[in-house]
A and B are shown apart, each in its own frame.
Chain A
Amino acid sequence: MTTPVLKVENLHVDIGGKTILKGLDFTAIAGEVHAIMGPNGSGKSTLGAVLAGRDGYEVTQGTVEYLGENLLELEPEERARAGLFLAFQYPVEIPGVNNAYLLKAAVNAKRRFEGKDELDAFEFLKIVKANMAFMQMDEAFLSRGVNEGFSGGEKKRNEILQMLMLEPRLAVLDETDSGLDIDALKVVSKGVNKLRGEDRVIVLVTHYQRLLDYISPDFVHVLSNGQIVKTGDKNLALELEERGYDWLRRDIA
């Protein structure tokens, strides 16, 4: 049997004493695209943050395995080098840290971990320029500060650019579609579809169905009150669009 890329079992997570995830179960095999949908406050962003290793999220029960290993023991940078990528809902602006520098440092950190030679400046530029053209980004973004003064859509494109450069095994996109106009949504989707492949897992965390018009998921899960309450195929997303979330809400007192 194939080892799942991601296996989450009975995951309970507290933030500041408040329980947000209450027994989440979820398994993804290589090649699959999963959409996790749910109303606001259902714990969607918490899932992304816990997978990426953000401070302040306390796992009180359950396990998360990444390629058969305990993911929760790894530092955020170790997870990244091992092939996990989180596209942030609100990418941070970091004035003065050069965008190209970060991209190159990130790619080479991963390559070192994999025992590969680092990319030199020439090879790096060749790859990054090709990916930027694909993402319809101006090369001027390379010399700017990370996300500094970027519009909402530019920040999301930049996240997907990083993802294309890093070629993760597991990509978690946290509400990447929020705040995007239709053109940006198409470009971002194009980037995600490019990455889609046999050995990868893509997890789309989203509130709305419209992203799924462009990226067709293999599975759709509904997250409500910290648990997955329903799993289906892409038609479930359409149904949610039609009927909203209320019919699925499960109150756990």
Chain B
Amino acid sequence: MSLQEAHAAMRAREPLPAALAARQDTALTRFLAAGFPSLSDEDWRYTNLRPFKDAALVAANAGSHYADSIELGGWRIDADPARLELPAELPQGVTAISLRQAIERDHPLLARLGTVSPGAAGRMGDLNAAFAGDALLIGVADGARIDQPLIIDWQLSAESDALVSPRLLLVAGARSEVTLVERRVGRGSFCNAVTEVIAEDGAQVRYVEVSRERAQSHTVARIDIDVARDARFDAFSLALGGTLTRNDVHVRLAEPGASVALHGTFVAGPGSHIDNHTTIDHVSPDTHSVENYRGIIGRAGHGVFNGKVIVRKDAQRITSAQSNDNLLLDDSAEIDTKPELQIYADDVRCSHGATIGRLDEQALFYLRSRGLDPSTAQRLLLDAFAAATLGALAPNLREVLVATLTAFLSDQLSENLT
């Protein structure tokens, strides 16, 4: 089935409100004209989506639920990307509405959807809009401090030909504080997610993304963030396994005082490909960024890190520090790491660094000399390396993420990560 046919079948299965249908159709037309990105696109040099051109994808029905061994405390939304049903109760100061409802009620959040770097979400953004049967719009009121995290657990289909299109918008009002968690467990589908975040003046947004993939899962996840005056955005990303994962992060530090910290850990096990493409755009003077990505690449795994930092003309007094550290566990493991600094201002302090290494033999011997068997010693060192990006998280969240991470690493090790 072609994408067009898949789209028609989806529409026949469930008619949509006119405004939503029109939104989908416009996006589909644009996508069909442009097609999947190819390796000749500079931004897609390492990740080839062209094979999907001929894949028989179908729009997904409701999928399976996210499950984790440890319960994460907070306000949880069990989200079916195709048709959202929202919990009756959410913390005070938080509005959550589905796109369908928003259209029906002409909700103010509707006007914000698609406004962060409009059009820049590119072809895959269009593909998302063409197939997204719904979207989740969340607003946090000015000055609201939301103590417990908002957790979006996306349901992903287990069908191997299913195209899943989660779509999320978060608008954090001025001086608000909120933690948003998005989690996905891929079980074989093709997930093409788009998230937008707007951090208004003085807002503090913490964003956690967990994608825990089984083999044969494909994920393309794009997030665009606008950070306003004196606002701060902190991201923690775990990308674990999967056949193909592409994470695109685009941060716009739009006004003075805006700052961002991106922390990411990715684990590319046997045969998996994980591509992290990040862009931090210092549009305004007095903006600051920190970025650390850590990769663990196992047998026949392939990791990519591309860290673009743009400092615009007249954006003075900028600080930016980027690092990417990688552990290769096998001779067949591969990493492509590339800093990409475009600096058009003078008063700028930018640093970048990349390391590629193996597990520390001295540390391994030390642990073994204390009676730990080699696999335990190896696992401890991997856990420590991988969890280092989670240091700045609140303890309860950190604990759950570390557990997710260590469980994954331990699974992978038993499946011969090395």
Q: Cα distance A101–B380 when bound, in Å?
A: 10
Closest chain A residue to B377 by CB distance?
Answer: A77
B388 touches A96 (CB 8 A): yes
> Is A139 interfacial (CB 8 A cutoff)?
no
Within 8 Å of chain B (Cβ to Cβ): is A92? yes
- The reply on B387 being an interface residue by CB < 8 A is yes
Stretch in contact with the other chain, from B320-328, B343-351, B366-374: B366-374
Q: Is the CB of A109 within 8 A of B366?
A: no
A75 with B388, Cβ < 8 A, contacts A92-B363, A97-B380, A97-B381 known: no
The residue from A77, A97, A101, A162 contacting B368, defined by CB atoms under 8 A apart = A77
A105 and B376 contact, Cβ closer than 8 Å, known pairs A76-B365, A92-B360: yes
Per the bound structure, the CA–CA distance linking A252 and B373 in Å amounts to 40
CB <8 Å contact, A94 and B366: yes
Instruction: Chain A residues near B365: list those with CB within 8 A.
Output: 54-55, 76
Residues of B within 8 A of A97 (CB): 363, 367, 380-381, 383-384
Are A96 and B385 in contact, CB atoms less than 8 angstroms apart? Answer: yes
Q: Measured between C-beta atoms, what is the minimum distance from A226 to chain B in Å?
A: 23
Q: Per-residue CB proximity of A98-116 to B under 8 Å, as 1/0?
A: 0001100110011001000
Find residues 71-119 in chain B having any chain A CB closer than 8 Å to their own CB: none
Shortest Cβ distance from B380 into A: residue: A97
Distance in Å: Cβ of A221 to nearest Cβ of chain B: 23
B304-345, CB under 8 A of A: which get 1 and which 0? 000000000000000000000000000000000000000000
Contact flags A76-90 to B (C-beta < 8 A → 1, else 0): 110111000010100
- Among A101, A102, A110: residue with most chain B CB under 10 A: A102
B361 at the interface (CB under 8 A from A): yes
Instruction: Find chain B residues with CB under 8 A from A105 CB.
Output: 370-372, 376
Q: In whole angstroms, what is the CA distance A52 to B371 when docked? A: 11
Q: Are B371 and A106 in touch, CB under 8 angstroms?
A: yes
**Residue from the list A55, A94, A106, A110 in contact with B363, Cβ < 8 A:** A94
A16–B366 alpha-carbon span in the complex (Å): 21
Q: Mark A57-76, 1 if CB is under 8 A from B, else 0.
A: 00000000000000000011
Size category of the B interface is 20 to 34
Q: Which residues of A contact B362 (CB under 8 A)?
A: 92
Interface residues in B365-414 (C-beta closer than 8 Å to A): 365-374, 376, 380-381, 383-385, 387-388
Point out the residues of chain A lying under 8 angstroms from B388, CB to CB. Answer: 95-96
The reply to whether B370 and A80 contact each other, CB–CB distance below 8 Å, is yes
CB distance from B121 to the nearest CB of A (A): 36
Whether A92 contacts B366 in the complex (CB less than 8 A), given A55-B361, A97-B380, A145-B384, comes out as yes
Q: A96-B383, A96-B384, A97-B384 are in contact. Are A52 and B369 (CB under 8 A)?
A: yes
Verify if A31 is at the interface (C-beta below 8 Å from B).
Answer: no
Residues of B close to A79: CB separation below 8 A: 369
- Cβ distance B384 to chain A, nearest Cβ, rounded Å: 3
Residues of A close to B373: CB separation below 8 A = 77, 109
Question: Cβ of B370 and Cβ of A102 under 8 Å apart?
Answer: yes
> With an 8 A cutoff between CB atoms, is A91 at the interface?
yes
Q: Are B369 and A94 in contact, with the CB atoms below 8 A?
A: no
Q: Is A153 an interface residue (CB 8 A)?
A: no
User: CB-CB < 8 A to A166: which residues of B?
Assistant: 370-371
Beta-carbon contact of B368 and A75 below 8 Å: yes
* A145 cross-chain contacts in B, Cβ below 8 A: 384
A53 within 8 A of B: yes
Contacts of A101 in B (CB 8 A): 380
Q: With A96-B385, A96-B387 in contact, is A162–B363 under 8 Å at CB?
A: no
Q: Do A94 and B384 touch across chains, with their CB atoms under 8 A apart?
A: yes
B236 shortest CB reach to chain A, Å: 16
Task: Report if A86-B367 is in contact (Cβ < 8 Å); known contacts: A94-B384, A95-B388, A97-B381.
Answer: no
Q: How far is the CB of B247 from chain A (nearest CB, A)?
A: 23
Nearest chain-A residue to B384 (Cβ)? A96
Cα A59 to Cα B59 in complex, Å, equals 65
Nearest Cβ in chain B — how far from A127, in angstroms? 16
With both chains docked as a complex, state the minimum distance between the C-beta of B240 and any C-beta of chain A, in angstroms: 18
* CA–CA, A214 and B175, complex, Å: 62
Give bound CA distance, A86 to B367, whole Å. 12
In the bound assembly, the distance between CA atoms of A19 and B72 in angstroms comes to 58
A-B complex: 9 closest residue pairs judged by Cβ atoms: A96-B384, A109-B371, A80-B371, A106-B370, A76-B368, A92-B366, A77-B368, A81-B371, A106-B371
| Contacts A/B (CB < 8 Å), 25 sampled | A52-B369, A55-B361, A76-B368, A77-B369, A77-B371, A77-B374, A80-B368, A80-B371, A88-B369, A92-B360, A92-B366, A94-B360, A94-B367, A94-B380, A94-B381, A95-B388, A96-B387, A97-B380, A97-B383, A101-B380, A106-B370, A109-B371, A109-B373, A113-B371, A145-B384
Binding site for B on A (CB under 8 A): 52-55, 75-77, 79-81, 86, 88, 91-92, 94-97, 101-102, 105-106, 109-110, 113, 145-146, 162, 166
Task: Given contact pairs A75-B374, A80-B369, A96-B388, enumerate 18 new A-B contacts (beta carbons under 8 Å).
Answer: A55-B361, A77-B374, A80-B368, A80-B371, A92-B363, A94-B363, A94-B381, A95-B384, A97-B380, A102-B370, A105-B370, A105-B371, A105-B372, A109-B372, A109-B373, A145-B384, A146-B366, A166-B370
